[in-house]
Structure formats: C-alpha cells, structure tokens
Structure 1
Amino acid sequence: MVINTRDTYCNPIVLPDYPKLRAISRADRQDVWGRSGKVMLSEADIMREAGLEISDVQLLYADVRSHEYGRIAENDVRATADPTVCYFDGRWYLYTTSGGIYDSDDMVHWTAHFDDTWMPISAPMAPTVERFRGGYYATANSTPLHIADNPLGPWRLVGEWTLQDGREVLCNDPMIFADDDDRLYLYWGLGISIMGAELDPERPNMFLTEPKVLFQFDPENWWERFGAGNEDWFRGFIEGSWMVKLNGTYYLTYSAAGTEYFNYCMGAYVSDSPLGEFKLQPSNPVSRSRTGFIKGGGHGSIVRGPKDTLWCFYTIPVSADAIMERRIGMDPVGVAADGSLYALTGCDVPQFKPGILERPEDGNQAGLVQLCTFKPTLASSYAPGHYPLLAVDEALHTWWQPAEGDNKPQFGVLLQGKYFISAIRLMWKDIGLHFDAGIDVGPYQYSIEYSDRAEGDYWTTLVDATENEIDLTVDYRTFDPVLAVRVRITITGSPEGVTPGLLDFSIFGVSAYHRKNKGEERV
C-alpha cells in the first residue's frame, strides 16, 4: 500500500499541556479530602479479616521507595501515566494521572480539558471512569466516587466506598467496570493483591458483595518479581487492574513490578465471570517492552478503536529526574490462538493510526525507519555532560543541552546517506524547571531545515514552528517526502526560565536506494 505519513502516529503519543510533577519538592497533600480522623479499611485489613496470609511485600516496597539514595532530582518535570481510555458516543476520552481530561475523534489527535471539579483537585492518581445508567462515574487512588452528566465533567461527589456493614474502604488503583447485564463492579489493589466486588447499581459507592481477593503476587510468575531483571523472588508489586470482556471471556489485566523499571508490564488472568475464579491466561505478559527506545508497558487500559480493532494504552518510564517521570504509549492488541491477549508494545517508529489497517495486531509499522541513531551530530554548543550525541542515543534518560548563554541553540545530524524523510519526532527536556520558584512551562518554538548536500550552506525549511503556541513535550510532525542528507533544528523560543533540552531527536524515512523486483533501483 502507498504510505501516507499523515495516516501515522508515533510513540510516545502526542498530548498537549502535559501535566506537571514536582520532583524537587512536593506539595503537602495531607487531608486533601478533609477526612482527618477517619478509620478506613485498607487492602491489608480486608485480607486479614478474610484470614488470608499477607506477605511483607507492601511494607518492603514502601521502604524501598522511601529512600532518596541515587535519586537526587535536578528539575521538576512533566509527567503522566496510568491511562484510562473510554469510548463514549463517537469519541475517545483519556484520563491520566495528575492530568486533565483529553478527548479525540481518532485516538491520535487529543484536546486537553481542565475542570476544577475533576475529583476535585484536578490531579487524580490512576483515575478510572465508566458510564453506567446515563451517568459517568469516576474515582482514583484513595478517592471517593464521583459522577458527572458528561465525560468532561463537571463532577460531583457521590460518597466514600462503603461495605455492607457501613465501614468505609480505601481503594487504590481502582477500575470501575459495567457489564452488559446492567451490573457494576469495582476492581482495585496496590501491592499485595488484586481485589474485586460487585456494587449496588442504585447506590454505586456501596458494595453489594464482600471484597474478594481475585489473585495475589506469585513469584513463580517471573514478570511479577521486583527489579529491573525480575531478580527478587521475595518482593513483588501488583497493581493497575483493568477489565475487558471479549467474546464472553473476562480478561483482568494488572501491572507489575515497579513503574520506574523498563520491564514494567501488564499480565492477565481470565475467567468466565466478572469475579472469578480467575486463572492465568496461557501466555503472559500481555504488554512488555524491555529493549529499544520505547520501554515499559505497564498500568494501562485496553479499548476498542475504529473498525472494531483493539488498542492498549500504557505507561512508558523515563525516570531522568524522578521515578514518576513517565509518558504514554499506544499499540495494537490481538487475541492469540490460545485465547491470550497480546499487545505489540514498544513500537518506536511511525505506525498507522487506528482505522487504517483491518488487522493492526498482525503488524502496524508504516515502513519508515529511524535514521538518526548514533549518527554524527553537531551543535552550536553543549552543557557539560550533555553532548549532542545524547539526543540520538535511543535513550529516554539522556539529553542534549545547549550551553548557558546560547540564545539561539542549533542541533544537526548527518544521515550518512541519501534518504527520503517524511516524519520527525521531538521530545523536550525542560532544564531548570522548578515550580516552587515560579518557573512554569509552555510552548517550544523552532524551525527544522534539511539539505540534500553533505556540505555547504544549502538549507531548505521543512517545518516552521517558530510561531507555535501549543505546549507539546512530545512533538510528532509529518510532511511530504523530501530527499535529505542533513537535518538541523534551530530553537527560537522556549518557556521563560527554562533551558531547552532534547531527550530525543528522530527523523524517519526510507533509503533513496531501494530494492525492486530483486534488482536495485536508484532514486
């Protein structure tokens, strides 16, 4: 088929007005909900009451996270994760940690919306939304149930999660699921186990059944073990549940084992009923990318897209300045012959947007390759330790940074050959960002030029974003193919008080020398 790059997208997905994360200092969020003095049942309390054995997993995990050893941040950052994507009345809605709400009519171009009533501090952790009986119900980590008449809000409080005996429950990493028989369920769990319960349809914050432990951390499931190499047989961490029903089978996905690790992933249990008994699907994990540029694949959601295709939205670790510095990816999902869900997680080159291919789960790449990785680079300047090569090293935690006083930074790459280029991806690093000091974020402005000659001052403008007013921490641009040997970017504007850095500079295209009918044709 003929490739039209305007029919493509590239991970991480492009979201305007990326959420803020304090990495240097954290705002005091104690008593956000005004619930001081309340005694609320935790996940561990419920398990103890049920007579179930509790390991030291959660305690040890919290202990590991409490140390700042080797994690001294230089900047506050932009970050979001834990995507919940829903389809309501012809539009997709994306709800993320610490962010506003995004909507889209094609799953690629998203518009940001902000509402002060969004549960209600506009910065929920791991939010979930479900439509039930005409209302849109929402909750998040340690958050009461809320409702709206519109998926964008405004939102109003329904009440705390409450057991049949009247006691209130603290539910973390929750997921609300409306079945097709007009019954409503809640899934949750953060560390020890994944739990579930049926909710009262007339009073959806009230539990209709007792909480049930659906499964627990099992070190025999290698993807659940803690560590970058899943090396710790004693510790694990499971969270981020998501329910999807396909052809009568209930797939309960969950995440493991640490969002800061590149092997962050999603596994799945299956059942023929929403509360089990659940068994591991034959092949796991569902979503995982350990190598390449786009890594991770944990804590996400699976949603139907155009032409009845399935798509997985997931969390990508960056972890340059904070373990919660993250981005979001999207890749196709399929069902294998053995009934297992699988996602093509980790695609780091342009692929066709939803609705172009009938079966994207069989392969969705658009045939464009990354042309910059470890190619010769040149820059107008660089700060100590942030060399130009670090913008093209296929790593999300290194970056090129211009030297202090460079007021018009320029960065270029020699492609070492002739290529037809038709897409570019920029990932910015906000150097010097410190919200407590009054330094905020905003749009980057720049121009990109190309040359079909290896030397000399012969340049043609390819992308003119010198008047850009859209705040994009990830920027993906497509254009008609041009023959190029060199490409350079000139940064003409950045947020006040911020030094622009490039986490990634990627050019995508195809060689000017390509095979045809077993011969070689020179273009």
Structure 2
Amino acid sequence: MNSYLLLLLSLLAIPTLAQPAKQTTYCNPIDLDYRYNFEQQNEGISYRSGADPVIIRHKDAYYMFVTIQGGYWRSTDLVNWKYITPSMWPMEDMCAPAAASVGDTLYLFQSTFQQRPILISTAPETGKLQFYNRWLPQLPKDIGPWDPALFHDPDTNKWYMYWGSSNVYPLFGAELDKNRQLTYADRNPANAYKPMFWLDPWVHGWERFGPNHADLVKPFVEGAWMTKHNGKYYLQYGAPGTEYNVYANGTYVGNSPLGPWEYAPYNPIAYHPGGYAVGCGHGNTFQDAYGNYWNTGTSWIGLVWAMERRMVMHPAGFDKTDQLYADTRFGDWPHKLPTRKWDTQNGPIADDTFTGWMLLNYKKPVTASSTLDTLQASFVNDENVRTFWATRNKPGETLTVDLGSEQTIRAVQVNYVDHKNTIFKTDASVYTQFRILGSADGKRWRTLADLTDTTRYGKRDRASAYVELSQPEKARYVRYEHVYTAGPYLAINGFRIFGKGTGNVPGVPAGLTAKRQPDDRNADLSWQPVPGAVGYNIRWGIAPDKLYQTYQFWADDPMGRPGRPFELRALNRGVPYYFAVEAFNENGVSALSPVVSDGFVKK
C-alpha cells in the first residue's frame, strides 16, 4: 500500500466535526443584542431597548440603524446581526436615524431640532464614517427635522427629506439640493419645507390613541418613510403612539415626491395589536436580495420603563392593484427566511412564509426552581409581554413546562426582562447563555439546544433569543436551564415553545356576522365558538380577496368570549369592509370561514 493511500485512509478515519445547521426561520421580536445606553442612565433606570428601526440593503449586505444604540448592525441573511462600533458618531447618540443607499455610498442622518451633519460611508462594514456636509441648516423652532427619512428618486436623480414627530405638527417634506451637499433646495429655512399631511383620527379609526384606540389623547404622527413603486410615491408614517398595542404604519399615495397626497383607504398597512409582540409602528420598508419587501416597526413593552421597546419585521409587498401591505398574521411566531421571490400579487404573503409551527405552551403548567416574591412561573407562558417570572440570577435555575402530551418541538424563544437591573453599558460581561432540555417522562432529560456552545451560537447578549432546533425533537416536558445573564436577577416574560401538536386542528368558525356601529370606525363581530380552539385570527380588508389585516387573540380573552361581540376599532369611515375568521390551537389552523360583508353602503 503506497503512502498516498495510507494518508487518505487515515484522513477518512478521523471523525468530522458536525457543522452547525443553517437557521432557516426567524421570529419576532428581532433576536438582537439590544444595547444598554445613556438614555436610561439619565433616569436611573437600566434596560435594553430598541426602537424606530431602519433596515437598508447596501451592496451585498443589510444595515440596521436603531434609536440610541451607539452604533449599528450588519447582516448578510437578515437573521445573524453583527454589531459595528463606528469610527465616529455625532456629539450625541442618534434617535430615529435616517439611512439611504445610493450607488456605493451609505448616507446617515440623525433626528434633530438643531444643526447636524449628514454622514456617509463607502465601507460601512468597517465602521468608517465621514462627514458629507458639516451642518444641515436649522429650521424654525420645534419643526425639526425629527424622525427624518432620506429619499433619492432614481428616475429623476433628485433628493428629498421627510420628517415629523408630533401631535401638533404634520409630517413635513423638503427637496434637497445635491449640488450644495444635500442642504435644503430653498436657501431660506422658512420656505425650505412644506406640510405633507396631518392625522385625522375622527375619520381614520386606527389613528386613535390608547389601548385598542380607546383614549381621547390627541395622537402622534411620526416615522416618515418613502417607497416608490410603479411610478407612484408611498409616503408612510407611524401612528398613533408607541406606548400601546395599536402602534401601526400607514401610507398616503401621490404622483410626485412632495404631493399632493391621497389617503390610502386600506390603511393601516402594518398592524399587529394582538399576540405577544404587540405594535409594529415607526419603521421602514425595504427590499431584500430577492426583491421581496419587508416592513419594520417598533413593538412596545413598557414594563421597566415606558419607552422600553423591541423591534419587529414583517413580510410586505404590493398586490396586483399596487396596494401596499404587510402581512402580520402570526406575526410573532416563526416564519421562513426568504430563499426566493414571494407572490404578493394574489393574496396574503404569510401563505408563502409562515412555517405552520404553532405555540405549544400557552398557559400550560409550568414550574420554576425558585421564585422571587409574587413573580410566578406561570407568567412566562401567558403571552403577555408585561408579566414576568423572576428569581435570583444564578446558574442552574430552571423553568419546566408540561405540554400535556408528547409534541414535536421545532424552536424556542426566550425573552428576558431587565428587572431592577444595574447595568448601564453593554460590554464583554453582558451576554446570554442557557440550555433547552426535553423529556418524555420528566425524569430523563436530553439537550435540545445548548447556547454555551459558542461555535454554533456565538457568545452575545440575546434579550429575545430565538433558537431553531437543528432537527425536530419529540418531548412532553421542555426545560429552560439557566447558565448566564448579566445583572442581579433572572427575569423572563416569555418562554415560548413552537412546533406541532398531535391532536386535531380546530374546526372552521361558523356563523360569522359583522355589523358597523353608528360610529363606523368600529365594527362588532360575532361567531360561534369552536371546540378545542385556543385562539382566533380576525382577518379583514377592503375586498374579499384582500384580507390583509389580522387581529389575533386568545379564546379566553375577555374581548372575544362567547356571547360577547368582538369590537374592532381600526376602520376608516366611509369604507366598506369584508371579514373572515380562523381558529387555531397547538395542532394547527382551521380553514378560513366564509367571507362576510359588514353591509356598509358607501354614500
């Protein structure tokens, strides 16, 4: 036997290291190393937060810019985000930044009521930024530009800026002069801008403030963004305010970048008032490598502090009539990462992207190794982002869920709370590690996922850790075993287990009726309860084949108990609507009920 053959056989005898399975799904809130930052220090409050996301595709990667994070993130797959510390940053951190990619240059601008520069980079992956202009001229007091958006029209090579964050002022817009380094086209600041539109909550039900649009506080318009599609301009905005479940995105449509504007009767374009990660307002719309659109937004927690938030992204697109919409159906459950162009022309996008992995542990029995005060274990699976379990932060603490029978586990999500935290800076000591164990009998356990394996999972902070298992696993009992987080306490507001149950899918809801109230911004919906249903999705839209809006809620929620109609308060006056409902449980989703009209006749 020659030496070459001996070498070949010896190499074949060496056991190969298993390569980590590539993640094929994602789950909202976005799994990111959200930062501790100076905003929280000012109030003596310590918490991770992220809001007002802007994601853009630049060259061959995605860049994410977020309020007060001290830097930004880069990804090549929309799921693995690497934090980048920039070479330079403004004199204060950025709130609600604007970003745009034009040619080989990335442009970046912060919210301000003063004079601030536009920054640029031709190599943002390195963190190297430089000044494009030194100062954008100051506008009159209280005008801004706060919550700005930069827009370059590729067909005319003209530049524009949009901004606004107020319940007094409208959104504003201005043309920028490229020849004078993107300062205002009109040199007189008083004439440089003009109003785009105001909110009209007396006509647009979803623009009303408060939980489920039930507060009379004057709502806020903010978070401008511009998308051009088929020659039309879609000026998007967030409303009615970040602090409630109904934070959403809407759009006006025009034939030119500065209007005039026509309100889209199908608004809001992105709406997620029910579920775990509630709210999806103030973000942006971008395209991925396959040409698919996404809509990003801000999800409210408000638990440790009123402005505690996370970020979400939902599949979006234009249908065959150029209606812009984001699909938020099961919007905080696992969805497939894109591998091709979706069909947005002929129905809801989630038909292409939803994994069908159901939440297996809603209000199932759960026990904890220890508990702090009254912060009990059952709070981790009630799907309420504002309740949580807590204990002292030490390795070996556990949460154990009994699913009732053996189920197929596909993914888990662990969402942490900064309970009485003492951290005011993200550094090397801030990271997250845990193990997920499974068992058929609650006695013999095997590891389903191990986040101490830094080769596979890295070593980073994951406030909303989403872990897709490398293969389906059968288990009745699922356990979270704590290894490490920073801070004095371990607190979790969501231990979420996804997969497939072995029972029956609920039947199709029957007897759906929809009736508009005298205040036609509201509608009452009723149907017959479905045996075995854990929850329902109300789906609606402006045509029977445009049921793009979803309101998800649980069967034991007071809003939808049998004998009491579900009040939907997000409608536009004078617009006829169509409705359907589907039931779900841990085994799957029913077929959609027959579509019904609300009987509204447009006058």
Bin for the TM-score computed over the shorter chain: 0.7 to 0.9
- 2:444 pairs with 1:474: no
- 1:203 match: 180
CA distance in 2, matches of 1:241, 1:301: 8
Tell me the SS of whatever aligns to 1:390: helix
Please state how far the C-alpha of 1:382 moved relative to its aligned partner. 0.6
Matches within 5 A, 1:18-167: 18-21=34-37, 25-26=41-42, 75-99=45-69, 100-121=71-92, 123-132=93-102, 134-142=104-112, 143-152=116-125, 153-157=127-131, 158-162=133-137
- What 5-or-longer segments of structure 1 have no aligned partner? 28-72, 516-521
1:213 maps to 2:208: no
Residues 343, 5 of structure 1: CA spacing in aligned structure 2 closer, same or farther, 3 A cutoff?
A: farther
Specify the alignment match of 2:145 in structure 1.
Answer: 171
- The CA distance in 2 between the partners of 1:268 and 1:365, in whole Å, is 25
Instruction: Give the whole-Å Cα distance in 2 for the aligned partners of 1:279 and 1:13.
Output: 32
Work out whether residues 304 and 419 of structure 2, in 8 Å CA contact, stay in contact via their aligned partners in 1. Answer: no
Q: Which runs of 5+ in 2 are unaligned?
A: 1-20, 187-191, 506-586, 588-603
Alignment counterpart, residue 335 of structure 2, candidates 351, 370, 374: 351
Matched, 1:494 2:485: yes
Aligned to 2:535: none
Is the 8 Å Cα contact of residues 435 and 451 (structure 2) preserved in structure 1? yes
Determine the structure 1 residue equivalent to 2:15: none
Distance 1:242 1:389 in 2: 40
Letter in 2 for 1:88: H
SS of the equivalent of 1:226 reads coil
Q: Hey, what does 2:432 align to over in structure 1?
A: 444
**2:30 counterpart of 1:13:** yes
Which residue number corresponds to residue 288 of structure 1?
Answer: 271
Corresponding pairs, count: 460
Deviations 1:181-236 (A, max 9, x none): 21110001111211111101122342114301010122222222222232345612
Asked if the contact 1:434–1:440 (Cα under 8 Å) also holds between the matched residues in 2, the reply is no
Task: Write the distance in 1 (CA, Å) between the matches of 2:317 and 2:306.
Answer: 30
Q: Which moved more, 1:138-147 or 1:176-185?
A: 138-147
Distance 1:310 1:203 in 2: 32
Give percent identity, aligned residues only: 30
Pick from 189, 198, 202: which aligns with 2:164? 189
CA contact (8 A) 1:23 1:77 kept: no
User: What's the offset of the Cα at 1:437?
Assistant: 10
Please list the CA deviations of residues 322-380 of structure 1 after superposition, one character each: whole Å capped at 9, or x if unmatched.
12111111111122454321111361211111225633753121010011110000111
Output one character per residue of 1:302-339: Cα deviation in whole Å (capped at 9) or x when no partner.
11113221111111111111121111111111224543
The 2-side partners of 1:440 and 1:93 are apart by 23
Residue aligning to 2:408: 420
CA spacing shift, 1:384–1:357, aligned 2, 3 Å: farther
Contact 1:160 1:168 in 2 (8 A): no
Distance 2:158 2:89 in 1: 25
Structure 2 CA distance for partners of 1:151 and 1:421, relative to 1, 3 Å: same
Q: Which amino acid aligns with 1:254?
A: Y
Cα shift at 1:6:
3.4
Structure 1 or 2, whichever has the larger Rg, is 2
Per-residue deviation, 1:21: 4.5
User: CA 1:478–1:234 in structure 2 vs 1: closer, same or farther (change >3 Å)?
Assistant: closer
Separation (CA, whole Å) in 2 of partners of 1:167 and 1:504: 43
Residue 362 (structure 1) aligns with: 349
Correspondence 1:318 to 2:301: yes
- Asked if structure 2 preserves the Cα contact closer than 8 Å seen for 1:376 and 1:415, the reply is yes
User: Amino acid of the residue matched to residue 472 of structure 1?
Assistant: R
TM-score (norm 2): 0.71
2:23 match: secondary structure: helix
CA distance in 2, matches of 1:14, 1:228: 26
The structural deviation recorded for 1:489 is 1.4
1:257-288 CA distance string (max 9 Å, x none): 11111100111000011111011113100111
Structure 1 vs Structure 2 CA RMSD: 2.7
What code does the residue aligned with 1:492 have? V
Q: Structure 1: how far apart are the matches of 2:30 and 2:395? A: 29
Contact kept? 1:282, 1:340, Cα under 8 Å: no
Does the 8 A contact of 1:282 with 1:338 survive in 2? no
| Amino acid corresponding to residue 120 of structure 2 in structure 1 | I
Aligned to 2:494: 504
Of structures 1 and 2, the one scoring higher in RCO (CA 8 A, sep 6+) is 1
The alpha-carbon distance between structure 1 residues 476 and 406, as it changes in their structure 2 partners (threshold 3 A), is closer
Secondary structure, counterpart of 2:95 in structure 1: coil
Q: Report the residue type matching 1:109 in the other structure.
A: N
Change (3 A) 1:373 1:234: closer
Which moves more between the two structures, 178-187 or 339-348? 339-348
Q: Deviations over 1:41-94 (max 9, x none)?
A: xxxxxxxxxxxxxxxxxxxxxxxxxxxxxxxx8x51100111111111121111
Equivalent-residue separation in structure 1 for 2:318 and 2:427 (angstroms): 47
What is the DSSP-based 3-state SS (H/G/I as helix, E as strand, rest coil) of the residue aligned with 2:284? strand
Deviation at 1:444, TM superposition (A): 2.1
Q: Partners in 1 of 2:262 and 2:74 — Cα distance?
A: 34
Identify if the C-alpha distance between structure 1 residues 227 and 441 changes in structure 2 by more than 3 Å, giving closer, same or farther: farther
Return the offset for 1:429. 1.7
